[in-house]
A and B are shown apart, each in its own frame.
Chain A
């Protein structure tokens, strides 16, 4: 394929003659014909994050923001894990007195809320923030200031939840906070409000990231990366972002309705005054089920990125995998009622949701078979990332099978709210998302830090995690079938659940220790790991075409894409484009389907205003759990900070 095909030469227009009342374009130096050393010097000066504390707080570099996201989400994983360890110690024997019911309620709620809203969604999005711009060959994410804003909102939401916990004010109504338990009548105090507002923070942040990701994928792909050449991981993040856009508003509506009922006396969920409690469940699960796929789809993208590299061949069934991702994205919106089988819905409705719950197993099955075929026909090199992919296969398939079981109404009614369900969703979530994430950590760590993690420790980590996980969660199926309900802080000795619970707790401890080992491997790798070079795994996608860690401007010149695995197709030299300015943050906007080059767009410069805006918005959210007037008082600071954010400051980036 020639470069003329890639850039669609006929689409590069001649420079427009001056049109309308525009200030004359102030041109600056271009990279055309510039030698490498001067090019790096120019780009570094233009794209670097300013030094100092204010500089760091103003950063809009997607890699810097993503690193912060990753580290913050990892801290929340640790905190949520400690919640779990505390609960497992309490449950390790019958009638232990370590933790009382009130604290236990807060613990399991904080565990769920932390893992879902502060760890799982942010960490998959953060991985995307880091990788998507690199994989599509651009210099920054779309709307970089919005992206920075999203991070600050997320941190403040997480801090809000955990400070509340420290103040004995943490939500204690479960991670889905059903009414009437969470309503004004049965949840006095501020605990349920903390749940509702923490949702608002985290959803604002995920929605911002989702929009930025969609636009990055649609408009900032390197020339030649037509739809059929988009890497599968990027496809996965694109579909996920769409699911976020259509699912997250549901939970914001839910939590807003709840807070209105609690704070200003509306009756939306109050059956005594024409409202309805089940409406809460419908709205929540219209978000809650797609949420599972928001966590799972990026993980499948990671698996699709890892497998071809270690199988040493192109992915089998690329198109089938893309279509499966899209199908899962759509179907994820048709399943929510299967969380509500025990609420006495009409039989016909329940049957429909049983059918759709089974239907979604088909595209997921297609994905699994494509991966297996890729491995079968390749020459697999078994390294730690691939081990975690194998762990994912094993655990996720078991979780999927219990999922198909639970889709059947009679069985679901029997095991509803028992440990069988706890076992099922931990198999799905940890197997389906955390194992691929751990594999992805080993896979992309060298790109992010420039150093390798230890392979030996990695293998130990895998086996410790795999054994610990199964020891902790497999017996939960049994104890659930025996009738042990979830969310109980203890159980009497006569039921005979003591030994198996002790075993589960031991497994949980082992699983926790595997994360301690992982943390050690991360720190050790970052400080002492062997140098990685640009492309330690000889992978084929664009993030490996630049140095490790990548420079602030990602690519010295924008690559041209001729193949689905560009670096495997162009082993001699990467075809690149010139003609961009080097004294202003210029990047390339391309067309949506064919990725023909279209516009030289300026990317936003560093700014402290997104932080101020996040403080204003976060302060308003916090204040609003005490008085509805917060919305009125908060409006002025929010408006001021947003004006500060958008008002042009006279940088070259603001001129055009």
Chain B
């Protein structure tokens, strides 16, 4: 088929931040499907909790303190996370490098405390269905925490190489910020479900 030249795209930029970039949309897509997984797991927990009148099935209450510390750390981490985002948009390599190191540390810290959360549940996964659901919910979130921290570490190293000086890498930093928000936000309902729901009933 014959062509008729009708537009010139040569002036377009070669990268964009946030919703302008396809990667942002891809990240959003994965958040949607992982969020659905979280919602269904939480739904399964609530389904069982409403099904059994004696829910918690005479298990002891979980100790909420490790979970509360993780929650505070995660909420606190949102501040440097968004400062990092601002520098990523400005493509400022120095502050972005510092920010990535900070976010790596703020990713590792809750992971360390998370280690103490499992015994603080005061029940094993194979004791009864209540224990199973607590371990499943906590395990599901821990998987996300581990993968995002791993991703952050690799990206931090990458930002210290010559590849860091590229618009796409700054875009990646922005998407990493976005995904960390997701990891923090999904934790809040799970935290309430694991530690405070049993205190209600």
Question: Which residues of A are in contact with B by a Cβ distance under 8 Å?
Answer: 3, 6-7, 12-16, 19-23, 25, 30, 32, 142-143, 146, 207, 210-212, 214-215, 218-220, 223, 245-246, 248-250, 252-253, 257, 260-261, 264-268, 270, 273-276, 279, 282-283, 286, 534-535, 545-546, 556-558, 560, 567, 572-580, 588-589, 592, 597-602, 639, 643, 646-648, 654-656
Contact = CB atoms under 8 A, between A and B. Distances in A.
A283 B22 contact: no
A413 to B, nearest CB: 23
Contact of A560 (B6, B25, B30, B166): B6
Contacts of A219: 22, 25
B18 to A, nearest CB: 12
Contacts of B135: 266
A598 B20 contact: yes
Contact of B33 (A211, A212, A274): A211
Contacts of A567: 1
A560 B7 CA distance: 8
A142 B26 contact: yes
B11 A14 contact: yes
A602 B168 CA distance: 10
- Interface size for chain B: under 10, 10 to 19, 20 to 34, or 35 or more residues? 35 or more
Q: Nearest 8 CB-CB pairs, A to B?
A: A20-B91, A579-B10, A274-B129, A266-B132, A3-B6, A579-B9, A21-B93, A575-B6
A268 B51 contact: no
A597 B12 contact: yes
B126 A264 contact: yes
Interface string B7-29: 11111111110011110011001
Contacts of B30: 211
B68 to A, nearest CB: 26
A6 B6 CA distance: 10
A598 B133 CA distance: 46
Contacts of A656: 14-15, 166-168
A526 B168 CA distance: 42
A270 B29 CA distance: 33
Given A22-B167, A282-B47, A578 B9 contact: yes
DSSP majority for the B interface? helix
A283 B40 contact: yes
Contact of B154 (A12, A215, A535, A643): A643
Contacts of B165: 21-23
Interface of B: 1-16, 19-22, 25-26, 29-30, 32-34, 36-37, 40-41, 44, 47-48, 51-52, 55, 57, 90-94, 125-133, 135-136, 150, 154, 158, 162-163, 165-168, 170
Contacts of A214: 25, 29
A204 B12 CA distance: 35
A546 B132 CA distance: 56
Nearest to A265: B126
Contacts of A580: 9-10
Given A249-B33, A267-B128, A654 B44 contact: no
Q: Majority SS of interface residues in chain A?
A: mixed
Contacts of B15: 599, 601, 656
B44 A257 contact: yes
A545 B162 CA distance: 41
Given A274-B52, A575-B4, 15 more contacts: A7-B7, A21-B165, A210-B29, A211-B33, A219-B22, A220-B22, A248-B33, A273-B128, A274-B128, A282-B47, A560-B6, A578-B8, A647-B158, A648-B163, A656-B168
Contacts of B47: 276, 279, 282
A545 B44 contact: no
Contact of A576 (B6, B34, B91, B158): B6
A267 B11 contact: no
B12 A12 contact: yes
Contact of B125 (A264, A600, A639): A264
22 contacts: A19-B90, A21-B94, A23-B165, A219-B22, A223-B7, A253-B40, A253-B41, A266-B126, A266-B136, A268-B136, A274-B128, A274-B130, A567-B1, A573-B4, A576-B3, A579-B11, A579-B12, A588-B9, A599-B16, A599-B21, A601-B14, A648-B163
Contacts of B163: 648, 654
A420 B92 CA distance: 67
A275 B22 contact: no
Contact of B13 (A212, A260, A279, A599): A599
A440 to B, nearest CB: 23
B14 A600 contact: yes
Nearest to A562: B6
Contacts of B55: 274
Nearest to B48: A276
Given A268-B44, A560-B7, A20 B132 contact: no
A589 B36 contact: no
B91 A252 contact: no
A20 B90 contact: yes
A246 B128 contact: no
